[in-house]
Structure 1
Amino acid sequence: MARIFHLSDLHFGAHDERLVEAVEERINAGRPDLVVISGDFTQRARTDQFEEACAFLTRLRDSGHEVLGVPGNHDVPLYDVLRRFLSPLTRYKRYIDETLCPFHEVPGAAVLGINTARSLTFKDGRINEEQMEFIRSTFARVGDVPRILVTHHPLFALPVSDGLEVGKAIGRQDLALDSIGEAGVDILLAGHNHRASTHSARDLATRAGPALVIQAGTATSTRLRDEEQSFNQIDIEGRDVVLTIQTWGGSGFVAGDTQGYRRDGDHWRPIAEAEADVETA
């Protein structure tokens, strides 16, 4: 079984230190195979904020945890115009990771991160053709295990309630969906919207393949959007994925509802529904 803790939108510089400590405690107790952080390590890409994020990552690694991260739009300088366009991710590479598209294999899963942050947009994301080919070629080399793609920006505009949607679809969405379909991507992890949710990709876009879309809320930021801070615990075993959202309870993170999904052919279904069909067959 592979266990992944999926964090996003840490926003060091606009964070709560109590939550940072509680996240570390929960990660140490949960002993994941990999900690995934899907962007926005900082609030404004300032050196002191990257230093705080770097110290957090150092503590995780010193505790024996593997970490995979990708940049978010907040990790690109906003007000320093020269740096924004000439060297937008220099500080990220110095303090977080020199690799903008990292890849990790853990027992039972292959995980690839792709940088969707761009200088020319303030908050929207994009995947270019070179990255699409990198997705295809990287996953072509892995065995028969779930393939997980990590981005900061969701590939889709996501439903909230009553027909409302949050965010925009990623730039070149159709081409991006084609590439992840060709690569056989099973699970999409992202953040950006500060809301936790789970969807079938095919419910979000008719062109999408059979991927399970898992969004993380903000783990440590004080910038909330109608829900408390949270992060995801994802347990993967064969065709089954069990998602447990860890939600801030005021003094620590507590496990919320557990949702189980099973890959059934080219579609993800709730495990309870899949097992009920087997019993009645």
Structure 2
Amino acid sequence: MARIAHLSDMHFGAHDRRIVDAATAWLEERRPDLVIISGDFTQRARVAQFRQAAAWLGRLHVAGLRTLVVPGNHDVPLYDLARRFAAPLERYKRYISHDLCPFYEDREVAILGLNTARSLTIKDGRINHDQMAMLRDRFAAVAPDKTRILVTHHPLFAMPIGKGGELSEAVGRHEDAVKAVCEAGVHLALAGHFHRTYAQAAQKMVAHSGGALVIQAGTATSTRLRNAEPQSFNWLHVRRNDEMELQVIVWDGAAFRRASHVEYAHGGEGWASRAVADAPMMGAVARG
């Protein structure tokens, strides 16, 4: 079983230091096999903010925790137009990671991260055809019994973002991206961006989208909350490529605690969920 912590939208520069320390302590105590951070390390891509983010990553690495990271749109300078268009992710590469499309594989999982942040959009994301080819090629060589996981900052699908049922804009080249995910046989698609916890089978969101389970993480440490959802991150137990557990770990004002615990199994009709009865349901996973 692979144990994965999925954090997103740290927003150093608009973060709560107490919550950062609590999240770090939680990870150090549970010691996941991999920590995934799906973008928006900084609030405005400033040097001081990247240094704070790099120092936090350094704490995880000193503790012996392995990480896989991708940038988000907030990691591209917004107001520095020269840097935004000439070297949009230069600071990210200097302080966080040179690899914008990292790949990790062990005996149980294969995980590919793709950069969806772009200079020409303020908040929306895009995926290009070279990245789609990389997605197909990387996973084509993976043994069929391993769980294939895709990590992006922007979700590839239109997501529910409010209580009124309104949907977000899908990532650029959405239809081609979904086709590539389907052809690559992706089992789990992890993302962030909207500061909202959400999980749903892709085929219930978009027709002909394959067998992926879409999992969104909320913001782990930012003070920029949306929809009154508190800071949180996801704790995944991936048993096989057709069976996993999702626990949402939520900040309650004093500590991180488990808020929901849902089991997912993939059968003939796709992914189905079952809430674990003994979980304290302070704030269940939003799912359709």
Q: TM-score, normalised by structure 2?
A: 0.92
**TM alignment of 1:213-252, pairs within 5 A:** 213-225=214-226, 226-238=228-240, 239-252=242-255
Contact 2:243–2:264, Cα closer than 8 Å, also in 1: yes
- 1:2 touches 1:107 (CA, 8 Å); kept in 2? no
CA offset at residue 162 of structure 1?
Answer: 5.7
| Alignment-derived partner of residue 123 in structure 2 | 123
Aligned partners of 2:161 and 2:194 also within 8 Å: no
Give the superposition deviation at 1:207.
2.9
Tell which deviates more after alignment, 135-144 or 152-161: 152-161
Query: Hey, what's the Cα distance between the residues in 1 that align with 2:246 and 2:30?
Result: 13
SS of structure 1 residue aligned to 2:68: strand
Task: Answer whether contact 1:219 1:229 (CA < 8 A) is retained.
Answer: yes
1:26 counterpart residue number: 26
- 2:179 aligns with 178
Q: Which moved more, 1:134-143 or 1:101-110?
A: 101-110
Partner of 1:105: 105
Residue range with higher mean Cα deviation, 69-78 or 259-268: 259-268
Find the aligned partners of 1:174 and 1:31 in 2 and give their Cα distance. Answer: 37
Moved more, 119-128 or 155-164: 155-164
Paired residues of 2:199 and 2:214 also in contact (CA < 8 A): yes
Aligned counterpart, 1:87: 87
C-alpha distance after superposition, 1:169-204 (max 9, x if no partner): 000110001101110000000000000011111111
**Residue 271 of structure 1: how far off its partner (Å):** 4.9
Deviation of 1:11 after TM superposition, in Å, equals: 0.1
Aligned alpha-carbon RMSD (Å): 1.4
Say whether residues 1:259 and 2:262 are aligned partners.
yes
Output the CA distance in 2 between the equivalents of 1:251 and 1:74: 27
Deviation, structure 1 residue 167: 2.3
**Unpaired segments ≥5 residues, structure 2:** 277-288
Supply the distance in 1 between the matched residues of 2:246 and 2:221 (Cα, whole angstroms).
Answer: 19
Give CA deviations for 1:2-37 in whole Å, capped at 9, x if unaligned.
Answer: 000000000000000001000101111111010000
In the superposition, relative to structure 1, how do residues 251 and 185 fare at CA in structure 2: closer, same or farther (>3 Å)?
Answer: same
**Equivalent residues of 1:174, 1:207 under 8 A apart:** no
**1:151 alignment counterpart:** 152
**Corresponding residue for residue 189 of structure 2:** 188
AA of the residue aligned to 1:249: D
The answer to whether the 8 Å contact 2:33/2:66 transfers is yes
1:35 partner amino acid: V
SS of equivalent to 2:208: coil
Q: Any stretches of 5+ residues in structure 1 without a counterpart?
A: 274-281
Take 1:67 and 1:146, find their aligned partners in 2: how far apart are those partners? Answer: 18
2: CA distance, partners of 1:47 / 1:198: 34
Say if 1:33 and 1:106, in contact at 8 Å, map to a contact too.
no
**1-side partners of 2:102 and 2:122: how far apart?**
23
Quick one: which amino acid aligns to residue 231 of structure 2? Q
**One-letter amino acid of the structure 2 residue matched with residue 234 of structure 1:** L
Q: When the two structures are aligned, how many residues end up with a matched partner?
A: 273
Equivalent residues of 2:161, 2:168 under 8 A apart: no
**Equivalent position SS for 2:178:** helix
SS of structure 1 residue aligned to 2:79: coil
Q: Secondary structure at the match of 1:158?
A: coil
In structure 2, distance between residues paired with 1:149 and 1:219: 19
CA distance in 1: counterparts of 2:8 and 2:269, whole angstroms: 28
Q: State the TM-score, normalized to the length of structure 1.
A: 0.94
SS at match of 1:165: coil
Share of identical aligned residues, percent?
55
**What does residue 15 of structure 1 align with?**
15
Give, as a single letter, the amino acid of the residue that structure 1 aligns with 2:267: D
Shift of 1:209: 1.2
State the match for 1:278 in structure 2. none
- Mapped to 2, the partners of 1:236 and 1:262 lie a distance apart of 11
8 A Cα contact 1:84 1:119, kept in partner: yes
